[in-house]
Amino acid sequence: MAIDLDIYREILTGFPSGVAVVTASGEDDKPLGLTVSAFCAVSLQPPLVLVCIDKASNTLSAIQGSGGFTVNLLAAGREEIALAFAGKADDKFAGVQWRRPSIPQSGPILDRDSVGYAECVTEKELEAGDHWIFVGRVENGASDPEASPLVYGRRQFAAWSDL
């Protein structure tokens, strides 16, 4: 017997995580993106990361079509960006400063709103329930060690520095 979904969701909220916006370039080079909490390092050699993307996401086809993505780790105080990219709006990038990636397969970089980013080329895709799992080889990136990461748990945001 499967667990009740409300109980399952509540269990998951007890695991705080960083907040990431995964981006890709869609048709006509349109920037697309979504907020994810399912992001982690997979390997140091080679440098691999993992993201999980909902099958209903408007960004999924762009990630699959481009062969890559960028993971933007949001900085504290960027809750409005996390919420905007979690929605289904057509132009999530309106009012958000971004720049083009150096790796053609990856997606837009939100370096003014992030503590770091990783430009990735897709190594593997795996269908898992209502999501796709993407393992990306990190080809380029940067980190701002002075910035405090945005954290999410128990349905609320916090700055890493506040914890």
Rounded to whole angstroms, the Cα distance separating 123 from 125 reads 7
Q: Is the preceding omega at residue 46 within 30 degrees of 0, hence cis?
A: yes
* pLDDT higher than threshold 80 for residue 11: yes
Per-residue confidence band for 163, with pLDDT thresholds at 50, 70 and 90 = low
Phi (first) and psi of residue 5, to 5 degrees: -65, -35
Per-residue model confidence (pLDDT) at position 112: 94
Task: Please give the span between the terminal C-alpha atoms of the chain, in angstroms, as a whole number.
Answer: 37
Per-residue confidence band for 147, with pLDDT thresholds at 50, 70 and 90 = very high
Output b/e per residue, 128-146; b: 16+ Cβ within 10 A: eeebbebbbbbbebeeeee
Question: All domains of the chain, ordered by start, with CATH?
Answer: 5-162 (2.30.110.10)
Query: How do residues 66-116 score in pLDDT, each as one tens digit?
Result: 999 999 999 999 999 999 999 999 899 999 999 999 999 999 999 999 999
Quote the mean pLDDT of the chain: 95
**Do residues 132 and 60 make contact, with C-beta atoms less than 8 angstroms apart?**
yes
